[in-house]
Structure 1
Amino acid sequence: MDEAKSLLAEMSHKALPPDTVTYNTLMQGLCRYGRPKEALNLFKEMCSYGLLPSLVTYSILLDGFCKHGHLDDALTLLKSMQEKKLEPNIVLYTILIEGMFIAGKLVVAKELFFKLFVDGIQPTLQTYSVMIKGLLKEGLSDEAYKLFRKMEDDGFLPDSCSYNVIIQGFLQNRDSSTAVQFINEMVAKGFSADLSTFQMLLDLESHDEMISGFLRGSSLGKKMN
């Protein structure tokens, strides 16, 4: 915070008054280093100077709050934003949903996701991936599977990241059969397993017969050997 204040003071001294972009940059830096509360102080200072926060400003702060466990601050900021007639976009919703999963607030995450459809906001592939990853983290494999298929039905074709997310989730939940199903789909579509997926398969190979047999007979397994 001292460094940020020094920079702002130096800019003012040089007759270069900081604008919203300057504040956004400083707030992003503070959030990145785990100091979202200090970023919020800058936000308040910026507003006191009559500078209007943008959706980017709110995205920075909400991301910082969620990733560092300050969910009450995130929800308060969201309410303040809506009171200013600034409706959150899909980027903000995705940040909030991920934050709720990180905090173990499954019900709130689901409510936010379904609110998208009520408000007529189209989720993105990233939003679906966040939801699927969160559901698998909570052990809700059936829900994650259905949502993955719904994502496809809604016209969002899964990419390499989407496949790796759901494969890793099913491996973590010890559902080797479904994981192998998705690996085969992924490879058939020309995508590859990432390093985390490779490592999980290797870790399971010695005590999971299905994974062991799959790796022995698949082209993916040959790449690993």
Structure 2
Amino acid sequence: MEEAKSLLAEMSHKALPPDTVTYNTLMQALCRYGRPKEALNLFKEMCSYGLLPSLVTYSILLDGFCKHGHLDEALKLLKAMQEKKLEPNIVLYNILIEGMFIAGKLVVAEELFSRLFVDGIQPTLQTYSVMIKGLLKEGLSDEAYKLFRKMEDDGFLPDSCSYNVIIQGFLQNRDSSTAVQFIYEMVGKGFSADSSTFQMLLDLESHDEICTDN
């Protein structure tokens, strides 16, 4: 990583100045290694050279900030981005919503989800899956169930990933009856449970057997 940064500095002093793609690559590497604040410094350096950040640039930084708990920085970056009239796309919103749920900021996550519709941005199947997973993590099973059905009503047909997300969430909340309902529904549509779902089912069955024995 240090060699890469040295190479960047060397390029800046030669006739081969780094471009946005070069900076994006380095920022992504820094974020991956848990150094999003250093990535932000590169972002500022890039802007000082007159290079325009792209949506990819912002998605790299937002993902890095959210995954490493720098949520205030992520929201500041979103605001700065909007002030520059560069509107976030659904990929950026998905990153932010997931980051807020990871940090336990349910209200902010729900506000971001609501803002999608105000801004005229179409959610994706992944957006709904992120929301459903987050709601279940917070123990809001009824809200998650309703959102899953709303997702279907809005024309987003659940896939294998969507089903596994909601099944795992209900299993984590010890609601095996609803989980089994979704399992039958999933299998009926030709999808199958992934390894994590199978393991959770086995763990729950073992737990129930122990409780019954006692």
**TM-score relative to the length of structure 1:** 0.90
SS at match of 2:17: coil
Shift of 1:4: 3.6
Q: Which moved more, 1:158-167 or 1:114-123?
A: 114-123
The Cα offsets for residues 133-157 of structure 1, whole Å up to 9 and x where unpaired, read as 0000000000000000000000100
Q: List alignment gaps of at least 5 residues for structure 1.
A: 210-224
Instruction: Supply the distance in 2 between the matched residues of 1:12 and 1:104 (Cα, whole angstroms).
Output: 41
CA positional deviation for 1:3? 3.2
**Residue correspondence of structure 1 range 41-60 to structure 2 within 5 A:** 41-60=41-60
Q: Give the whole-Å Cα distance in 2 for the aligned partners of 1:103 and 1:143.
A: 19
Give runs of ≥4 in structure 1 deviating > 6 Å. none
TM-superposed deviation, 1:2: 3.2
Deviations 1:21-79 (A, max 9, x none): 00001000111111100000000000000000001100000000000000010011111
Secondary structure of the equivalent of 2:207? coil
* Distance (whole Å) between structure 1 residues aligned to residue 174 and residue 62 of structure 2: 33
| Aligned mates of 2:72, 2:206 — CA distance in 1 | 44
Alpha-carbon deviation of 1:13?
5.2
Shift of 1:14: 5.2
Name the CA distance, whole Å, in 2 between partners of 1:191 and 1:159: 7
Quick one: distance in 1 between partners of 2:5 and 2:119? 39
- Give the Cα–Cα distance (whole angstroms) in 1 for the partners of residues 4 and 71 of structure 2: 24
Q: Is 200-209 or 49-58 further displaced after alignment?
A: 200-209
Shift of 1:16: 1.6
User: What percentage of residue pairs aligned between the two structures are identical?
Assistant: 94
Aligned equivalents of 2:193, 2:29: Cα separation in 1: 32
Alpha-carbon distance in structure 2 between the residues aligned to 1:28 and 1:3: 15
Q: CA deviation at 1:97?
A: 0.4
* Deviation of the 1:80 alpha carbon: 0.6
- Paired with 1:187 and 1:203, the residues of 2 have a C-alpha distance of 20
User: SS in structure 2 opposite 1:207?
Assistant: helix
TM-superposition CA deviations, 1:73-129 (whole Å, max 9, x none): 001111110110111111111111001001100000001001111111110000000
Question: Structure 2, unaligned stretches of length 5 or more?
Answer: none
Task: Compare 11-20 and 85-94 and name the one that shifted more.
Answer: 11-20
In structure 2, the partner of 1:134 is 134
